[in-house]
Amino acid sequence: MARFRRLIANLRGRDLAVGDIHGHFQRLQQCLDAVGFDPAVDRLFSVGDLVDRGPDSEAALEWLAQPWFHAVQGNHEALAITRVRGGRLDLDMYRAAGGGWFLDLPRARQLGFVERFEQLPIAIEVESAAGLVGLLHADSPYADWTVLRTWLELDDDPKVREVCQWSRRRLKLGDTQPVQGLRALLVGHTPVLEAKQLGNVWHLDTGGWASGHFTLMDMRTLQLVSPRPDETTVPQPIAPA
């Protein structure tokens, strides 16, 4: 598996990023339609957690087969890999976190998902005219993107991977230290009511898979392009991812 992936700038259309999807691909498609997403020229980047919780988790493979869709590996993809490949896993926790659809699949079908999830990089960087934009699921363990890139390209350190996929430290501490070497780092994992910027790190999981809304960011301008939720909707609590 290539743990780090680079992509050149999109000169034909937009590069949009979205927070955690968690099996709500139909809802995401409605959001993309609302902002005029054109798969012929636009690209969509996911910060991971494609599956679990929602009704469309099995659609993840169809989306991953699209040339315009790119995703990093989230902790929920990692849970599926651990289940099939072996490792410590609390099955009750996994099921409570929405993994029942996967646990109940036949072994051969599970393997099909895991083989594809294993191909997902831990980190992606995308060129733009204004500088590099990085994507991780949770956070960078280093304050310098080039250091993380080197670690991912040369070694598979479980501690590095754990921070990339599981850490909530930055949001808990309100840490505004930027990640050097990037114009912006886009992450998900921890739900927020609205997209939140800490330093140059943007948290994009606004609960589109729960009672919130999907947030799309134009990676060239760092502007949010999602249609706003109905202002008359009463916000509901969002459970941790």
- pLDDT tens-digit readout, 106-117: 999 999 999 999
**Mean pLDDT in residue range 184-209:** 97
**Mean pLDDT in residue range 184-193:** 97
56 within domain boundaries: yes
Starting at the edge strand found earlier in the chain, the sheet holding 43-46 runs: 69-71, 43-46, 15-18, 216-218, 223-224
Question: Percent of the chain at pLDDT above 90?
Answer: 88
How many domains does the chain divide into? 1
Q: Is 76 a catalytic residue?
A: yes
Residues 6+ apart with CB under 8 A from 110: 80, 83, 84, 102
Provide the pLDDT for residue 223: 96
192 within domain boundaries: yes
112 within domain boundaries: no
Provide the pLDDT for residue 24: 97
**Mean pLDDT in residue range 112-140:** 96
Tokens (6 digits) for 116: 């594809």
CATH number at residue 210: 3.60.21.10
Residue range(s) defining the domain that contains residue 154 = 4-74+122-224
Q: How confident is the model at residue 74 (pLDDT cuts 50, 70, 90)?
A: very high
DSSP state of 57: G
Tokens (6 digits) for 176: 């505004």
Pairing of strands 123-126, 4-7: parallel
Provide the pLDDT for residue 227: 63
105 within domain boundaries: no
Q: How confident is the model at residue 204 (pLDDT cuts 50, 70, 90)?
A: very high
Type of residue numbered 240: P
Active-site option among 22, 24, 70, 76: 76
232 within domain boundaries: no
Q: Comparing C-alpha atoms, which of 13, 7, 112 is closest to residue 62?
A: 112
C-alpha atoms less than 13 angstroms from C-alpha of 59 in its C-beta half-sphere: 15
Q: What is the pTM of this model?
A: 0.92
178 within domain boundaries: yes
219 within domain boundaries: yes
* Neighbour-count burial of 23, counting CB atoms closer than 10 A to its CB (0-12 exposed, 13-18 middle, 19+ buried): buried
32 within domain boundaries: yes
Residue carrying the six token digits 């990692």: 78
